[in-house]
Amino acid sequence: MASPQFLHLLDQLHKNTKSKNLAWQPARYAPAIGAFCLALGEGVIRIISKNDDDWMMSASYCAQLLTRNGDLVDEIEASQLYGDDYFTLLRDVFHSARGAAYQLDRLIDGMQDDLESGRSRELPPEQEEMTHDLPF
């Protein structure tokens, strides 16, 4: 179980409407899996979606408190499947972090402008999916 101080910080992130404007960034180590980081004071919060399938009842999230050097200080994990008390809190913080990291409001506004003007754009080149050849 996470410390009361870390839970309070996560609760403040959840309740604070200004948190949508915080500088969340995709995690460098694995942006494709859904991990976002935020530096505050002398620490870093990393929020991870281990599975974001709410409709399958298998969603789970993990929040970690790290030092600026990347040392793990505290963490909490919650799963929808097990009805964890902090599931909704972590899910909402994750979704807020993802929206802020990718500037969701600005992204949608630009798309809405193009839609209203009847304009479309050329698709970006597709990125190659990483494939891993298993040695066995």
Per-residue pLDDT of the chain (136 residues; tens, 9 = 90+): 799 999 999 999 998 866 667 899 998 875 556 899 999 999 999 999 987 666 666 788 999 999 999 999 999 999 887 767 899 999 999 989 998 998 888 889 999 998 999 999 888 888 765 555 544 4
Predicted confidence at residue 34, as pLDDT, reads 86
Number of domains composing the chain = 1
111 inside domain: yes
20 inside domain: yes
CA distances to 46, 97, 99, 123, 129 from 110, in Å: 28, 20, 15, 15, 27
Residues 79, 87: contact at Cβ < 8 Å?
yes
93 inside domain: yes
Predicted confidence at residue 128, as pLDDT, reads 62
Let me know if 45 is exposed, middle or buried by CB neighbors in 10 A (0-12, 13-18, 19+). Answer: buried
106 inside domain: yes
129 inside domain: no
Rounded Cα gap, residues 54 and 80, in angstroms:
8
56 inside domain: yes
pTM of the model: 0.79
Predicted confidence at residue 53, as pLDDT, reads 64
